Structure 1
Amino acid sequence: MHKGSLVMAIIWMAVISLVLFWLPLVGPLLAGFVGGRTAGGAGRGLLAAILPALVLCLILAAAGASLTGLPVIGAIASISLFLVIVIQGFPLLIGAVIGGLTV
């Protein structure tokens, strides 16, 4: 059984989300569906949806702390971005599970 590509799933999710940003619910749902199918399974689809968000939040926390010299500023920026990503990411996660289950 072919497992799919996690990297390609992340790329497809990002590209489709950027192209369909003007569709608030349908855009991320479709991006998650395509990414979940590309990843090859529901678990791998969820990983492809969550991994970039975590990496981006860690990079933002480090950049915010190093640029301001205050780790609290980096933590606040990272937490606020993570909340925005989670709110926007519910349809992406649901689409990734549905897409992963249809493989």
Structure 2
Amino acid sequence: MDATLNRDRGSVVLGALLMLILSVLLFWLPGIGSLIAGIVGGKVAGSVLRGLAAAILPSLLVGAALFFGISLIGLPIVGLLAGASTSVIFVAGSGMLLLGALIGGLLA
């Protein structure tokens, strides 16, 4: 029996959670902290695409939370603008995290 058939494919959610936690803990290492968080999270996610998805997932969740939170108080257009712009800014600012996720996915 081939050992690769039983190998776990990884978890995008666990990878995203590890990236978030490590990014917060390693904030004092500009660039390198995000790279380390991305490598670890990408390796846990299991592949390159899953690692990149894990890196982008927290940004999209924050944007969606802003959209729904602001929409609940009766301002759906403002919520849409706030959520979308926050997601774009977070994804644009996470270059080292994405690079680390790419490297970690290749190592998996």
Q: TM-score, normalised by structure 2?
A: 0.84
Residue deviations 1:23-52 (CA, integer Å, cap 9, x gap): 221111111100011111111101111122
Instruction: State the match for 2:41 in structure 1.
Output: 35
Return the letter of the residue paired with 2:97.
Answer: L
Aligned-residue offset at 1:71: 1.4
Instruction: Please point out which of 61, 74, 82 is paired with 1:77.
Output: 82
Length-normalised TM-score, structure 1 = 0.88
Deviation at 1:73, TM superposition (A): 1.4
Aligned-residue offset at 1:5: 2.2
> Percent identity, aligned pairs only?
43
Point out the structure with max Rg over C-alpha.
2
Query: Structure 2: any 5+ residue segments left out of the alignment?
Result: none
Give structure 1 stretches of 5+ with no counterpart.
none
How far did residue 82 of structure 1 move?
Answer: 1.4
Which portions of structure 1, spanning 4 or more consecutive aligned residues, are displaced by more than 6 angstroms?
Answer: none
Q: How many residues align?
A: 102
Match in the other structure for 2:29: 23
* Superposition deviation, residue 12 in structure 1: 1.0
Letter in 2 for 1:46: L
Aligned to 1:101: 106
Match of 1:10 in 2: 16
Q: Which amino acid aligns with 1:12?
A: L
Q: In angstroms, what is the RMSD of aligned CA positions?
A: 1.4
List per-residue Cα deviations over 1:49-73 (Å, max 9, x = no partner): 1122212211211111222x12121
| Aligned-pair CA distance for 1:15 | 0.8
